[in-house]
């Protein structure tokens, strides 16, 4: 359960720094936590959307996500991943992120800023495959018994820029 909570927390962390370019996208959509409003008739909300530092929507999670969600294919970058907080004390994997993000490339940066975990869509965009050699001074954690990249990319293997065309 703690592992699931960590992934949900990372999902929440990833949304605020997403690179969205839809007609009416929010820069950030916050949900999954306590949102307290100053509206006496509606003292709490499920979600809040923010654009250019201003609140543009407050309400039910489904309504806010439908109207202001990050478009399919847009790159999502999150920060704050720390394997020490996962209940099973292991590294997060691309598969963990794939369960929640099937249409968007996602990169969740480690708290150290020396690495990140990428989902399968992002690994493909960065052209990181089983054939990709581990660069000198870098680390690509792979699926056990295979050469498939599956986990944390560290140091010189860590992509610090969005891939071209994102």
Q: How many helices (H) and strands (E) does the chain have?
A: 4, 8
- Sorted by where each starts, the structural domains of the chain and their CATH numbers stand as 23-68 (2.30.40.10), 72-155 (3.10.310.70)
Phi, psi (5° rounding) for residue 147?
Answer: -100, 0
**Over its length of 166 residues, how does the chain's per-residue pLDDT go in tens digits?**
333 333 333 343 433 334 334 456 788 888 877 888 888 888 899 989 998 889 999 999 888 888 887 788 888 888 888 888 877 777 788 998 998 889 989 999 888 889 999 999 999 999 999 999 999 999 999 999 999 998 889 999 988 666 666 5
Neighbour-count burial of 145, counting CB atoms closer than 10 A to its CB (0-12 exposed, 13-18 middle, 19+ buried): exposed
For residue 139, the cross-strand partners are 154
What pLDDT score does 165 carry?
A: 61
Angle at 108 between CA 138 and CA 152, to 5 degrees: 30
Report the first-to-last Cα separation within the chain, whole angstroms.
33
In three-state secondary structure terms, 83 is helix
Q: Is the CB of residue 131 less than 8 Å from the CB of residue 147?
A: yes
What pLDDT score does 161 carry?
A: 66
- Rounded CA-CA distance 37/41 in Å is 10
- Rounded CA-CA distance 84/151 in Å is 15
- Rounded CA-CA distance 79/11 in Å is 10
What pLDDT score does 147 carry?
A: 94
What pLDDT score does 164 carry?
A: 60
What pLDDT score does 117 carry?
A: 93
- Rounded CA-CA distance 75/82 in Å is 21
- Rounded CA-CA distance 91/56 in Å is 36
């Amino acid at each position: 359960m703690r592992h699931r909570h960590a992934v949900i927390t990372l999902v929440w962390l990833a949304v605020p720094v997403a690179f969205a370019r839809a007609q009416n996208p929010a820069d950030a959509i916050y949900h999954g936590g306590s949102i307290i409003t100053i509206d006496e008739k509606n003292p709490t909300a499920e979600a809040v959307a923010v654009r250019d530092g201003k609140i543009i929507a407050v309400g039910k999670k489904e309504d806010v996500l439908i109207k202001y969600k990050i478009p399919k294919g847009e790159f999502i970058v999150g920060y704050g991943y720390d394997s020490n907080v996962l209940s099973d004390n292991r590294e997060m994997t691309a598969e963990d992120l794939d369960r929640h993000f099937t249409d968007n490339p996602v990169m969740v940066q480690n708290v150290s800023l020396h690495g990140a975990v990428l989902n399968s869509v992002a690994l493909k965009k960065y052209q990181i495959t089983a054939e990709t050699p581990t660069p000198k001074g870098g680390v690509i954690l792979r699926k056990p018994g295979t050469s498939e990249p599956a986990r944390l990319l560290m140091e010189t293997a860590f992509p610090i820029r969005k891939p071209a065309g994102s």
